[in-house]
Amino acid sequence: MGNPPLDQGYGYGIVIGFGAFFSLFITALYMVEKRYSNVSHTSEEFSTAGRSIKIGLLASSVVSAWTWAATLLQSSSVAYDYGVSGPYWYAAGATIQVLLFAILAIEIKRKAPMCHTFPEVIKARYGTTAHIVFIYFGLATNMIVTAMLLLGGAAVATNLTGMNIYAACFLIPVGTILYVVFGGLRATFLTDYMHTVALFIIILVFGFTVYATSPLIGSPKEMYNLLSEAVNRQGGVKNNRDHSYLTMASKDGLIFGVINIVGNFGTVFCDQAYWQRAIAARPSSTVKGYLIGGLCWFSIPFFLATTLGLAGVALENNPKFPTFPARMPAADVGAGLVAPNAAVALLGSSGAVAILILVFLAVTSASSAELIAVSSILTYDIYRSYINPAATGDDIIRVSHYTTLGFGVFMGALAAILNNFGITLGYLYLLMGIIVAPAVIPIAFTLTWSKQSANGAIFGSLGAFAAGLITWLVTAKGLYGAVNLESTGDNISMLSGNLVSLLFSFFITVPVSLMNPQNFDFEATKNIGALEDEKDAAVPQYDVTKEEDPEALNKALKFSYTSAWTLTAVLIFLFPLPLMGEDYVFSVSFFEFWVVIGFIWSIIASLTVIVFPIFESMDAIIMVCKGMAADMCGGGFVKENVNVTKDIDLETTQHHGSSSDMSTSEAVKY
């Protein structure tokens, strides 16, 4: 990029100052909620947020947790490389996993309603060996995701401000660590909402700039003309129809789409961050929250990459583009620098600041999800399972704090090491499926197929892991004659390894399980419970009789299957394949339609995740405002412990480990 468009002070100011601001602000919000609502500081609250999250906040949190640095950076890079197909395959190929996860989310409510992590369910069903195997896959997923977050964020901060990249790796997560340690999962939900609001505002600003107000582009028609000129100027995209940037008929775009689909199954189904949100949600919120969150998230990579990614191609012949007159080096594209370069060309230093804030918010919000996820696995699945089975709630909170801090420091060091070896965000994004996808099918079958055996789950995941690695390396060696970053990062090498890693587990798990089927009845998973000294605190903050009614849960399960698979078919097959099969190159009018759809989808998504959570939580907001007013007027605040479970029968009460007098209401004077 040459000289950074911003001084180093911007980088350190945003990374440290902005991080500190968000940390203090979110911590203050958490304290206000704790003061004026029924939030208690227990290990159950720390890791499950009271299992009381509603649809709107769950959807907002899903959007935030799934908005990685890659969502903003890698999506724009594939738009630069493959044209309009890149943003579509990035968005669709990473949306269907969230939609399909809605099935597992309601299943865990049906079959393990009081668990804390997905490996807990593995242990209850299959025992210690399988538990250890899937702890590995869970932690490997968290490390890869966090490494991508920090590598992408550090690369952007360094590129835009000249900030030391190693300092960025360590400093970016600092503010996140502070509020996660202090407030746990509930603080994460609060910051997810705040970050999501800011993300959509900035994305829409870029959209209106590129397609409405910028003198460099200013309309979809001008973007179309500039992309057409780019084909004549530099040859366009090698394996696209007519070398056009304006077609879904893209061989390399499709290959990326397949890799994207496979890899993201691993980073959703194996990521405790998604299970944690399902665990924290009310049963009635779970399916709708994930479906709405997934559809809202689609708009972020699709619209942003269609905006900044294509602008990177359209403007690189403009003197305002940072690499003018040359094209961007492949290493910079892989590092995710297309969006920052386009932002600088469009808005100068203002664009640089906006993209830096955008990426910083994405990195920190997703990092908070990973921190609490790792903390939960280390605490419940390692510490409580094998080190201190008699752990109290205070023990769990203390270990959660230590593990959150330790993982944050460890990941800063790992990101610095990976950067030193030249491993970029783009490389890790393509690699992740080879490492974690082998566990996808065994994990899904754990909750959906009673016949899967422990050996089927173990051999299926480990066998596919070995097969995927071997296929990846052998393909790289065969294509290039050597195994190095270039050969292993090739699309064909990555595609081969990803496909084998995901599919091979099915061909091992199913026959091995059928040799000696388990025929599991899920009673053991239903009996997973809270700590002995926190059973009262573990009572969900909703009407259990109504929310956990078997008929309602079964209805939600049927709805999840129908809606998730229908939406998947539309996004992956029914919509894109006709455009590819016809070798259609977009006309001006169709491209205008394409951009308008992106605008509308983004606006609806932003209103959904910004307004809906506020509307849904209006009673709580009013209660907090009344409490603050009472304190300020000197009258003293009386917090009423309103019992939402007063009609629960004794059997349900005992199932959730609460005391028999839980229907008593009390008021505490402060």
Cβ–Cβ under 8 Å, residues 396 and 530: no
Question: CB-based contacts of 635: which residues, under 8 Å, 6+ apart?
Answer: none
pLDDT in tens, 310-322: 999 999 999 999 9
Contact assessment for residue 209 and residue 346, using Cβ atoms and an 8 Å cutoff = yes
- Identify whether 641 is part of a domain: yes
| Amino acid at the residue 407 | F
Cβ proximity of 13 and 357 under 8 Å: no
Higher pLDDT, 625 or 584: 584
User: Is there a domain that residue 461 lies in?
Assistant: no
Q: Is residue 172 part of a domain?
A: yes
Q: Contact at 8 Å (CB) between 216 and 49?
A: no
Whole-number pLDDT of residue 555: 95
In this predicted structure, the answer to whether residue 10 has a pLDDT above a threshold of 70 is: yes
N residues, the chain = 670
Q: Tell me the helices (H) and strands (E) count for the chain, helix number first.
A: 32, 2
Q: Tell me the pLDDT tens digit for each residue of 591-620.
A: 999 999 999 999 999 999 999 999 988 887
Can you give the residue range of the structural domain that contains 182? 8-450+520-669
- State the residue for tokens 């950076």: 73
CATH number at residue 412: 1.20.1730
- For the chain, the 3-state helix, strand and coil shares in percent, each to the nearest 5, are 75, 0, 20
Q: What is the mean pLDDT of the chain?
A: 88
Residues sharing a CB contact under 8 Å with residue 632, sequence separation 6 or more, in sequence order: none
Query: Burial of 523 by CB count in 10 Å (0-12 exposed, 13-18 middle, 19+ buried)?
Result: exposed
Residue 493 makes CB contacts below 8 A (sequence gap 6+) with 472, 475, 476, 479, 487
pTM, full prediction = 0.89
586 occurs within a structural domain: yes
Is residue 550, in this structure, part of any structural domain at all?
yes
Going by pLDDT thresholds of 50, 70 and 90, the confidence category of residue 647 is: very low
- With 80 as the cut, is the pLDDT of residue 521 above it? yes
Is residue 591 domain-resident?
yes
pLDDT at position 426 is 85
Is there a domain that residue 471 lies in?
no
Token code pair at residue 412 = 């800063």
Q: Evaluate whether residue 475 is within a structural domain.
A: no
For residue 424, the model assigns a pLDDT of 85
Q: Are 298 and 597 in contact (CB under 8 A)?
A: no
Please tell me the distance from the alpha carbon of residue 573 to that of residue 98, in angstroms, as a whole number: 17
Mean pLDDT of 553-571: 96
| pLDDT recorded at residue 537 | 62
pLDDT at 29 over 80: no
Q: Which range has the top average pLDDT, 47-61, 287-301, 384-398, 535-549?
A: 287-301
204 three-class SS: helix
Please give the helix or strand (H or E) that residue 156 lies within, else none: helix 128-161
Six-digit token string for 365: 């919000």
Count of domains for the chain: 1
